[in-house]
Structure 1
């Protein structure tokens, strides 16, 4: 029994190897058309979009960067905990800004009262 790697009419790997058993009468393996016993790897690495050159009996990588990017899954949405952390951080920033504003207004009011107490005009 051997593994064979089928490819379509354009030479692209179909994605799943198949098991091939020897002919019971001859004991020989008869590899079907559009299949090879050569695994779709290059330099020991798998390929994104393997293409088989039947004349050279070799697999080639045919995926460009756009193709590779299209296969990547979108980033996972933030979890509820992460969303709450972000909201909490935003609320803390808003609270700090509000406290600064209150302090500056309190200083302004204190300065006005001081000016009035000293008999000055605002």
Structure 2
């Protein structure tokens, strides 16, 4: 018994190996069309989207990064600590903006008071 690896007409792996037994009369294995005895691996590692090249008789990886990313599940929601860090950062930005506004208003008030002290002329 050997394992064979079926692929569809378009060359992509069909998904599960199949057991193949030798012919009772000849003792030889008759691998059907659209199957190979080579596992869908590259350098001993599995593949994301194996495609069989019949001419070269080898599996080729057809998954691009977009395809790989599409198989990943949604990202874990941020933890409570991460949420508090984000809120803290947003609060610090708001505080800095408020401080800048206070400083610019203080300068405007000082300029207006100076104008008034000099007799109201600009």
TM-score, length basis structure 1:
0.63
Q: TM-score, normalised by structure 2?
A: 0.63
Gaps of 5+ in 1: none
**Shift in Å, 1:107:** 3.9
Q: Secondary structure at the match of 1:72?
A: helix
Residue by residue, what CA displacement relative to the aligned partner does 1:63-87 show, whole Å, maximum 9, x if unpaired?
Answer: 274xx52342377375264455334
1:86: which partner in 2?
86
Partner in structure 2 of residue 61 of structure 1? 60
Unaligned runs of 5+ in 2: none
**Cross-structure match for 2:102:** 102
SS at match of 2:4: strand
Displaced runs of 4 or more, over 6 A: none
2:121 is the alignment partner of 1:120? no
RMSD of aligned Cα (Å) = 3.5
Q: Is the 8 A contact 1:12 1:50 kept in 2?
A: yes
The separation in 2 between residues aligned to 1:120 and 1:33, in whole angstroms, is 100
Matched, 1:49 2:54: no
Kindly indicate whether the alpha-carbon contact (under 8 Å) linking 2:40 and 2:50 is maintained by their aligned counterparts in 1.
no
Give the aligned length. Answer: 116
CA distance in 2, matches of 1:103, 1:13: 67
